[in-house]
Amino acid sequence: MKLVRYGAAGAERPGLIDAEGALRDLTGHVEDIAGVTLTPEGLARLATIDPATLPLVEEPVRFGPCVGQVGKFLCIGLNYSDHAAETGATVPPEPILFTKATSAIIGPNDDVVIPRGSTKTDWEVELVIVIGKRAKYVGEAEAETYIAGYCLTNDVSEREYQLERHGTWDKGKGCDTFGPIGPWMVTRDEIVDPTDLTMWLEVNGHRYQDGSTATMVYKPAFLVSYLSQFMTLHPGDIIATGTPPGVGMGQKPPLFLKDGDVMELGIAGLGTQRQRVVADRG
């Protein structure tokens, strides 16, 4: 299933994309694409619904973040061997963990706002794991069963705040609008191999990132198991798993986003996003 949230920001409705690519409304069956809906039992109930019986939604509509009420937005750094090489870093012996504020979450095609004073706002196409059941001290062999599905994100990053302002990476990762997710969450049964998906990102029509999840070092099942040793994961928590090479700071010379730029990105089977970059004029 491809599960979506659509409508005005803050008032999104649950929906799904049928086999013909049409948007269907799930209101009346679930309150949101969040929490209990993402558990194995919740997804099993949705799977019994014939999409043809659901109201057809006239498009175009705004797609919101594909997962609602996210409790934790966890991220893994330097998790692609080729991206680590382009930044001059080595792959760490254990995953690098940082968080994005949940207030960074926006819809897949909403504007990305450059923070005041920023000169080094960057892009990163990433695969996201969506947790489907409570995970605590989970073994790697069983960890995949704790995954509800996958989606796409652009891990927008302010590199000065992240790397030059001291402390943790979080302050350069969690700015408002720095976490577009969607357009849809694809349930785990429809993604045959999450470690063999092509992924790309373009800025103003130029392709900078053109990679694959095949170069991911720490794979999804390992990451779920690993993180569950440190904290309990809950349905609706999301984990961004790292990016392939081609980010702005890896260009020669480095290249960063500016007011008016347009980013487009996608992962095979998980849809595409398009964000206009705007300066903070608030």
* Structure confidence by residue, pLDDT tens digits, 21-54: 999 999 999 999 999 999 999 999 999 999 999 9
| Domains of the chain and CATH, by start | 67-279 (3.90.850.10)
Phi and psi for 141 in degrees, rounded to 5? Answer: -65, -30
- Measured CA to CA, the distance from residue 209 to residue 248 in angstroms comes to 9
pTM of the model: 0.97
For 193-240, what is each residue's pLDDT tens digit? 999 999 999 999 999 999 999 999 999 999 999 999 999 999 999 999
Residue carrying structure tokens 């659901």: 54
Q: Is the pLDDT of residue 89 over 80?
A: no
**What's the token pair of residue 66?**
């594909």
pLDDT at residue 85, as a whole number: 78
- Measured CA to CA, the distance from residue 31 to residue 179 in angstroms comes to 23
pLDDT at residue 281, as a whole number: 82
- Measured CA to CA, the distance from residue 246 to residue 202 in angstroms comes to 10
Contact between 113 and 186 under an 8 Å Cβ cutoff? The reply is no
